[in-house]
């Protein structure tokens, strides 16, 4: 599985960005595609996840209401729409895919994801 993240950039506080994660390779509708982020000096943090089928989605409680995860109809691209961005959202955002066997209750754990994209930088200025 190969993942390509894009869409990061510099935005002012209160602005919006949409990140894209293009997935290719051997994946099924059961695979999870997730977004994590890592700010300088901090641990990697779960952001959002969904099944490629689109049947299940979850956004971290701390970002719910501002961030939305979705996919295109081909299931090959997963998006993270981020609204009302804050300076504390500044981080490198990574998309990741699991092996297709993760149960939903473990979907927020980074250790369940086997494949990682290269990351895209999001910088929010105050």
CA 5 – CA 95 distance, rounded (Å): 6
pLDDT at 95: 97
Question: Would you say residue 74 has pLDDT above 90?
Answer: no
Closest CA to 34 of 123, 44, 42, 26: 44
Q: Which percentage of the chain shows pLDDT scores above 70?
A: 100
Q: DSSP states of 52-115 as a string? A: TTSS-EEE-TTTBTTEEEEE-TTSSEEEEEE-S--GGG-EEEEEEEE-S---GGGTT-GGGEEE
Q: Is the Cβ–Cβ distance between 107 and 58 less than 8 Å?
A: yes
Beta partners for 92?
A: 38, 121
pLDDT interval class at 42 (50, 70, 90): very high
The reported pLDDT for the residue numbered 62 is 96
Report the pLDDT averaged over residues 79-106. Answer: 96
Task: Give tens-digit pLDDT for 107-126.
Answer: 999 999 999 999 999 999 99
At 53, the pLDDT band (50, 70, 90 cuts) reads: confident
Q: What angle do CA 19, 106, 81 make, to 5 degrees?
A: 15
Would you call 23 helix, strand, or coil by DSSP?
strand
């Amino acid at each position: 599985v190969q993942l390509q993240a894009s869409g990061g950039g510099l935005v002012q506080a209160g602005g919006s960005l949409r990140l894209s994660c293009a997935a290719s390779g051997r994946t099924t509708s059961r695979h999870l595609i997730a977004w994590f982020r890592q700010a300088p000096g901090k641990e990697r943090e779960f952001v959002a996840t969904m099944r490629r089928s689109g049947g299940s989605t979850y956004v971290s409680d701390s970002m719910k209401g501002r961030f939305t995860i979705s996919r295109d109809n081909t299931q090959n691209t997963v998006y993270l729409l981020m609204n009302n961005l804050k300076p504390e959202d500044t981080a490198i955002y990574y998309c990741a895919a699991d092996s297709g066997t993760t149960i939903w209750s473990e979907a927020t754990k980074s250790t369940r994801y086997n494949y990682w994209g290269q990351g895209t930088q999001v910088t929010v200025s105050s």
